[in-house]
Structure 1
Amino acid sequence: MWIFLPESFISVVQKPGDTDTLTVRARIKGDIESVFPDAYVEADKGTDYKYRARVSRQAVAQVLYDQVMGLHWSNFKGAVQGHKRHDAYMNVWRAMYAIQDR
């Protein structure tokens, strides 16, 4: 699951054998910690995502709940801080717009 937040982009997956723990991955230093401040983040494990942490499924669910309950913007693109992140998110927006049903 890809999760785009104004201050972070994370990918959440379930690794084989895990049931109550999910692997949260990120490409940008600090993105995992901004969402899961207590997570133990590992770097440079030879995978395409530079950063990763194992987080309980319950903690991931709680963060998603908190994000939805705290949502206050009327336009997500306007809530994104930093030009580099904003530009990357806009590239995703453009790609998805290009495949939108017409």
Structure 2
Amino acid sequence: MWIFLNNAFLSVVAEKGRPDVLKVRGRFPGDIEKAFPEAKVTEGAGTDYRFRALVDREHVAQVMADAVRAIKATNFKDSVDQGWRHDLYLGVWGVMARGQTSRQRQETSSGS
């Protein structure tokens, strides 16, 4: 699951053989710690995500639920303070907006 917080980008996946643990991955220094300050983050490991930590599944669920409860912004992009991060997120927004338009055209032309 990709999670775009206004101050961190995380990728959360299952940890093989450990149903109570999730692997939280990040691309940028400090992103994991912003959501999980107590996490033991490792760097490297030769994979596409530079940073990773193992976090209790229920703790991940609680932190994400708390983040949802704390939403006050009426526009997510405007809630991102870091200019470089805002620009990256805007790029993702653009790709998804183009995908929506493309998919709409496909649905219209196929009648589905």
Please give the TM-score of this superposition, normalised by the length of structure 1: 0.97
Q: Which is helix-richer, 1 or 2?
A: 2
Structure 1 stretches of 4+ moved >2 Å: none
- The aligned counterpart of 2:37 is 37
Letter paired with 2:74:
S
Of all paired residues, the percent bearing the same amino acid is: 48
Q: How far, CA to CA, are the matches of 1:18 and 1:99 in structure 2?
A: 35
- The aligned counterpart of 2:73 is 73
Specify the SS of the correspondent of 1:55: strand
Q: How far, CA to CA, are the matches of 1:15 and 1:36 in structure 2?
A: 17
Q: Tell me the matched-pair count.
A: 102
> What is the Cα-based RMSD across aligned positions, in Å?
0.7
The CA deviation at 1:64 is 0.9
- The aligned counterpart of 1:2 is 2
The CA deviation at 1:82 is 1.1
Q: How far, CA to CA, are the matches of 1:3 and 1:99 in structure 2?
A: 19
Uncovered stretches (5+) of structure 1, i.e. residues with no partner: none
Uncovered stretches (5+) of structure 2, i.e. residues with no partner: 105-112
The CA deviation at 1:15 is 2.4
